[in-house]
Amino acid sequence: MSVSSPHLARLLLLASASPALHAPALAASSSYVIQEDTTWSRQGSPYTVSADMMVASGATLTIEPGVTVELDSWVSITVEGTLVARGSSQEPIVLRGVEGADGRVRWGSLIFAEGSVGATYQGLDEYLSGSVLEHCEISDGSRAVAMFGSSPLIRECYFHGNYYESDLDVAGGAAIYVDQGSAPRISDSTFSGNIAGGTAYGGAIYVDQGSPIIQGNTFTANESVYGAALSAYAMYSPIVGNLFQENISGWDGGAIALVSSAPAILDNEVLSNEALYDGGGIHVCIDCNPHANPFITDNSIIGNTCSFQGAAGVGAAYLRSFSGNDIHDNLRSDVPADFAWFNQDTELAWTRDLLAPGNWWGSTDAEAVAEAIWDGNDDPVYGLVDYQPMLDGPSPSADSRVTITTDRLEYSSPGTWMPVYLTIYNPGQPRQVELLLLLQHGNAPPLAYRGELGFPGSSLAGDSFLLDLPEGSVFFDTLGSAQLSDVPVSDHGTWYAALFDPETGDRIGDLCSARFDTKGDE
């Protein structure tokens, strides 16, 4: 994992100044194995797990509403089969540490192992079967939930007081750790007071090459050194409709910190978070490789703070899009600092400057807005931010959006795969839309994408896909990708995506574009 050099320097300084802390390994040696379908009933509650436990492949553990599960010190439960833990708002399922002399003890993790049964859905997002945590209250864990190549549904849960610490590894996630190959839905849950200590990233959630859909959650008072609520490496799936408030980072990213990631960050509230350095709200890594290139659209980014370099609102070196946001009243040491632009890439000249129209900066005074933006006007090494035209008031409610992107800005090695990531977000009522996807190489005519989409019930009508979007829904998929050696000879390509009203033909929202350079040996 590549991190910016200031981060690496700080990490090494902390590591040399502190004794090594050895966190428990996540792999469980099972003292107790559930080998057949088992139900933990409310009548038998509480259940005490005093040694590592496993739900074997082919078996299902069902935990009924109202059940309390208490785990002894550093004990973990590994799921290789299926776990169904569906509480209710009146009778949540509780997972916590055993009561000790000084309070509850720290237990290990609820581990969804590779090969465990993930959640399946009817239509786009209606739970049908498989592993699920719903209306669960989970506290006292170390990486309370960890998933490795598995995709459970986590919905309407409450994670609090979980703590993970390491001075040896940046991969944190005190509440949830999402490893590569995992694609869970994490929705409508609350994360409060979770801490990744030492040099661990992601106070509540850490994503390492996973594809979680993170939607409709509330993150408050979480802490870590980098990305106090959420930190991610090589994540391309969406972060939509969440509230990030009063989270605290010891370095960068009071709410969110991204390394080599390109998610669609849509319709979130990022309020009153704090970082010591850059990105009191959102920090996008400055010199990671490959470069992070997210979309940041339709968000409220207000009242965040930082103490030193960078911006209190958003700090970044490349963004695919920055529009439709309400971003103002973010302060660096009491000085307005809404946005910082650190891009100095002269090789990819088209990335150097940023078009950022259609945002509300809290003022119609262009001079005051410019004072709150740090870019090449402050240091000519960096590119410029063009913030005109500005909105003259808060942006309207978010509408349906589509984003499309590649994972890299440039492909220079023949044989390199070029995956393409698509997000569709519908925050409002159910609606039908037409989706048009185009790929253009150089100045050649654009060609419509008519390959696999993966959207349930979609149909192809001419060059467009006809989609029925449920209320408050989000869809993410990786489109079929090509190798650099397979694409036509040109110096660059561009993906385009747009939504249309099938009845009127009017476009819904903005046209999305994502350029990539192709500089391999032809």
CA–chain centroid gap for 499, Å, is 23
**Residue 511 to residue 32: CA distance in whole angstroms:** 55
Look at residue 485 and give its three-state secondary structure: helix
The set of residues, in sequence order, having a beta carbon less than 8 Å from that of 187 and lying 6+ positions away, is 154, 155, 156, 213, 214, 215, 216, 217
Q: How far apart, in whole angstroms, are the C-alpha atoms of residue 517 and residue 350?
A: 10
- The predicted model scores a pTM of 0.93
The tens-digit pLDDT sequence of the chain (522 residues) is 333 333 333 322 223 322 222 222 223 333 589 999 999 999 999 999 999 999 999 999 999 999 999 999 999 999 999 999 999 999 999 999 998 777 889 999 999 999 999 999 999 999 999 999 999 999 999 999 999 999 999 999 999 999 998 877 788 999 999 998 899 999 999 999 999 999 999 999 999 999 999 999 999 999 999 999 999 999 999 999 999 999 999 999 999 999 999 999 999 999 999 999 999 999 999 888 889 999 999 999 999 999 988 899 999 999 999 999 999 999 999 999 999 999 988 889 999 999 999 999 999 999 999 999 999 999 999 999 999 999 999 999 999 999 999 999 998 877 788 899 999 999 999 999 999 999 998 888 999 999 889 999 999 999 999 999 999 999 999 997 777 777 676 789 999 999 999 999 999 999 999 999 987 544
Pairing label, strands 464-469, 459-461: antiparallel
Query: Which residues make Cβ contacts (< 8 Å) with residue 171, sequence separation at least 6?
Result: 177, 200, 201, 202, 206, 208
What's phi and psi for 316, nearest 5 deg?
A: -155, 160
Alpha helices in 267-314 (DSSP H): none
Q: How many CB atoms lie within 10 A of CB 480?
A: 12
Quote the radius of gyration of the chain (alpha carbons, Å).
23
Counted residue by residue, the chain has a size of 522
418, 516 Cβ separation under 8 angstroms: yes
CA atoms in the 13 A half-sphere facing the CB of 155? 16
Task: Report the amino acid identity of residue 291.
Answer: H
In the beta sheet, which residues pair with residue 479?
Answer: 420
Cα separations (Å) of 433 from 15, 316, 425?
Answer: 52, 32, 11
